């Protein structure tokens, strides 16, 4: 399982050792030290010359990273691809905004309400779709945001139509705008880290193993006597709740607002998918960092006034196209994503520096369980194989019907 390899846990075929590291020793592992260094760097950014404008971008990036982790919880682990995950981002954001603007509910109460309503939406969509085998969830989630957008337009008096609603109350109020921005930044960073830690602990438990096994071989999980649909629905509802939390928090920041273009557009669902795959599908950390990287880089490209030579098109006009091309290159050379590649490259580098074994002796995996060749099946390939089998089954069913 991809996530187990990244965690450094023993995998099948790997010799077990009797010298188990202590908890303190595990926390001193290089990958955790690098992660801790990253947290410290994010924490000191407001004090090292980062401008208020850049902090605003980072606030949006952290909430988009949170949204990417919610997508990864269901699609990265179970292989059930959600093509319209923005619906939960929008349900959480609009619920909180409507309660605040229309009924005077404070953000401390309207945000949890947005999370609950997003989870309910996850139940309504996930229960019927995930009890069927095949790409039904993908089809349903592809259509659901379009339906919700039409509801927003038809009932424009309530939802504000295509222009959306006015900004609800801010999470933080202060006399100086800079203080508001800094406070919002730390709230976003704290929530981002807390959700990442919570999801990581959950996915490193037995639940995560079952979800990953479903992605790899759903029939084997069912043969073991486990209710596959129950686990998939749980992951989907959890994912919807986290996505709703991201949307509900986002609309109360200085950079977010309850508008379809920010919360519900088809492009939002595509962007979160690209971000999670770039960072590392089925890793949580990779998806979260991929979301931050995507949002920040996309905003950076949008601010460029330079023109692309030969085609005479501004970089800011073609920012999404450029990022999509970059994503294709990265996926082609690093199909498992940037984060898993960085972890494995770091391990090999450390082993070489320590003079340890660098050649695989167990059929392609090193002592940490990390793949030493590029032919290891990754989550994208496993998901593609699941869809190929589902389409083959549908084709066989239609062919059988024709023969009859």
Tens of pLDDT, residues 374-384: 445 677 777 77
- Please state the φ and ψ torsions of residue 227, each to the nearest 5 degrees: -85, 100
- Which residues form the domain of 78? 46-302
Q: Are 309 and 367 in contact (CB under 8 A)?
A: no
Buried residues in 19-29 as b, exposed as e (16+ CB within 10 A): eeeeeeeeeee
Q: Closest Cα partner for 239 from 266, 267, 207? A: 207
Token pair for 36: 């801790």
Q: What is the mean pLDDT of residues 85-98?
A: 95
102-106, 146-150, 244-248, 350-354, range with the lowest pLDDT = 350-354
Whether 59 is covered by a domain: the verdict is yes
- Dihedral sign for Cα atoms in the order 328, 261, 57, 87: negative
Token representation of residue 196: 């990442």
pTM of the predicted structure, to 2 decimals: 0.84
- Would you say residue 309 lies in a domain? no
Burial class (CB in 10 A: 0-12, 13-18, 19+), 3: buried
Is residue 233 assigned to a domain? Answer: yes
Question: Where does residue 203 rank: exposed (0-12), middle (13-18), buried (19+ CB within 10 A)?
Answer: buried
Across the range 289-309, mean pLDDT stands at 86
Would residue 361 count as lying in a domain?
A: no
Report yes or no on 24 lying in a domain: no
Position 368 scores a pLDDT of 45
Going by the DSSP 8-state scheme, the letter that residue 8 receives in this structure is T
The reply to whether 95 falls in a domain is yes
Q: Is residue 308 part of a domain?
A: no
Beta bridge partners of 314: 307
| Residue 210 counted as domain residue | yes
CB 27, CB 251: distance < 8 Å = no
Average pLDDT over residues 153-168: 91
- How many domains does the structure of the chain reveal? 1
Question: Strands 307-308, 313-314: parallel, antiparallel or unpaired by DSSP?
Answer: antiparallel
Query: How would you classify residue 228: left for phi > 0, otherwise alpha for psi between -120 and 50, otherwise beta?
Result: alpha
Return the CATH number at 165. Answer: 1.10.3470
| Minimum mean pLDDT range among 150-164, 225-239, 356-370 | 356-370
Contacts of 282 (CB under 8 A, 6+ apart): 2, 3, 72, 76, 77, 212, 215, 379
């Amino acid at each position: 399982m991809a996530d187990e390899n990244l965690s450094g846990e023993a995998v099948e075929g790997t010799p077990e050792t009797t010298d188990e590291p202590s908890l303190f020793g595990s926390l001193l592992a290089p990958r955790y030290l690098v992660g801790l260094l990253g947290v410290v760097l994010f924490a000191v950014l407001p004090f090292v010359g980062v401008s208020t404008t850049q902090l605003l971008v980072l606030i949006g990036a952290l909430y988009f990273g949170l949204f990417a982790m919610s997508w990864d919880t269901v699609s990265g682990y179970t292989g059930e691809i959600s093509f319209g995950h923005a619906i939960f981002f929008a349900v959480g954001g609009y619920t909180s905004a409507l309660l605040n603007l229309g009924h005077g509910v404070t953000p401390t109460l309207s945000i949890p309400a947005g999370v609950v309503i997003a989870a309910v939406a996850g139940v309504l969509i996930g229960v019927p779709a995930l009890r069927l085998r095949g790409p039904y969830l993908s089809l349903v989630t592809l259509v659901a945001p379009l339906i919700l957008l039409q509801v927003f337009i038809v009932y424009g008096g309530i939802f504000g139509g295509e222009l959306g609603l006015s900004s609800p109350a801010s999470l933080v109020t202060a006399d100086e705008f800079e203080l508001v921005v800094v406070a919002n930044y730390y709230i976003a960073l704290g929530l981002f880290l807390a959700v990442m830690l919570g999801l990581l602990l959950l996915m490193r438990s037995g639940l995560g193993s079952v979800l990953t096994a479903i992605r790899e071989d759903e029939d084997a999980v069912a043969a073991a006597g486990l209710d596959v649909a129950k686990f998939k629905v749980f992951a989907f509802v959890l994912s919807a709740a986290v996505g709703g939390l991201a949307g509900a928090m986002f609309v109360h920041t200085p950079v977010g607002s309850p508008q379809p273009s920010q919360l519900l557009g088809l492009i939002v669902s595509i962007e979160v998918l690209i971000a999670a795959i770039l960072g590392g599908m089925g890793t949580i950390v990779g998806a979260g960092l991929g979301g931050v990287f995507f949002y920040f880089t996309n905003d950076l490209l949008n601010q460029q006034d330079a023109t692309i030579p030969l085609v005479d098109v501004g970089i800011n006009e073609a920012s999404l196209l450029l990022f999509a091309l970059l994503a294709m290159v990265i996926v082609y050379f690093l199909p498992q994503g940037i984060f898993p590649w960085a972890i494995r490259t770091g391990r090999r580098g450390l082993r070489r520096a320590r003079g340890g074994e660098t050649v695989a002796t167990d059929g392609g995996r090193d002592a940490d369980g990390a793949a030493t060749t590029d032919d290891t099946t990754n989550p994208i390939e496993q998901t593609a194989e699941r869809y190929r089998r589902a389409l083959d089954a549908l084709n066989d069913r239609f062919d059988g019907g024709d023969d009859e």
